[in-house]
Amino acid sequence: MRRGAEFPAVEGGHGCRLSLMPVVRLSMDGAEARLPHGLSSLVVAVALEKGGIGRRMLQGRVWPDLEPEAAAKRLRQLLWRVRTATAGRLLDVSMEQVRLADHVEVDLYDAERFARRAMEHGSAPPAEHAVLGRELLADWQDGTVLDAQERWNRLRLMALERLAEESLRAGAVLDAIEFAGMATMVDEFDEIPRRIMVSAYSLRGDHAGARRVYDAYRRLLRTELGLEPSPEFKELLSRNGDMSLKPAAPAI
What is the rounded distance in angstroms from the CA atom of residue 92 to the CA atom of residue 110? 20
Please give the share of the chain, as a percent, with pLDDT higher than 70. Answer: 90
> Which pLDDT score is estimated for 194?
97
pLDDT single digits (tens) 5-64? 566 666 544 589 999 999 999 999 989 998 998 899 999 999 999 999 999 999 999 999
Q: Do residues 22 and 137 lie in contact, with contact meaning Cβ atoms separated by under 8 Å?
A: yes
Q: Do residues 88 and 9 lie in contact, with contact meaning Cβ atoms separated by under 8 Å?
A: yes
Please give the share of the chain, as a percent, with pLDDT higher than 90. Answer: 79
Mapped to the 3 state alphabet, what secondary structure does the chain carry? Answer: CCCCEEECCCCCCCCEEEECCCCCEEEECCEEECCCHHHHHHHHHHHCCCCCEEHHHHHHHHCCCCCHHHHHHHHHHHHHHHHHHCCCCCEEEECCEEEECCCCEEHHHHHHHHHHHHHHHCCCCHHHHHHHHCCCCCCCCCHHHHHHHHHHHHHHHHHHHHHHHHHHHCCCHHHHHHHHHHHHHHCCCCHHHHHHHHHHHHHCCCHHHHHHHHHHHHHHHHHHHCCCCCHHHHHHHHHCCCCCCCCCCCCC
Q: Is the pLDDT of residue 249 over 70?
A: no
pLDDT single digits (tens) 76-96? 999 999 999 999 999 999 999
Closest residue by Cα to residue 88 from 75, 108, 73, 103: 103
Q: Kindly report the CATH class assigned to 5-103.
A: mainly alpha
> Which pLDDT score is estimated for 246?
42
Give the lowest-confidence range in 34-38, 123-127, 231-235, 245-249. 245-249
Q: Do residues 156 and 132 lie in contact, with contact meaning Cβ atoms separated by under 8 Å?
A: yes
Q: Is 204 exposed, middle or buried (0-12, 13-18, 19+ CB in 10 A)?
A: middle
Tell me the average pLDDT of the chain: 90
pLDDT single digits (tens) 187-219? 999 999 999 999 999 999 999 999 999 999 999
> Which pLDDT score is estimated for 241?
65
Confidence of residue 1 (pLDDT cuts 50, 70, 90): very low
Q: Do residues 179 and 163 lie in contact, with contact meaning Cβ atoms separated by under 8 Å?
A: yes
137 sits in the region (left: phi over 0; alpha: psi -120 to 50; else beta) called: left
pLDDT single digits (tens) 132-187? 999 999 999 888 899 999 999 999 999 999 999 999 999 999 999 999 999 999 99
What is the residue extent of each domain of the chain?
Answer: 5-103, 188-252
> Which pLDDT score is estimated for 3?
41
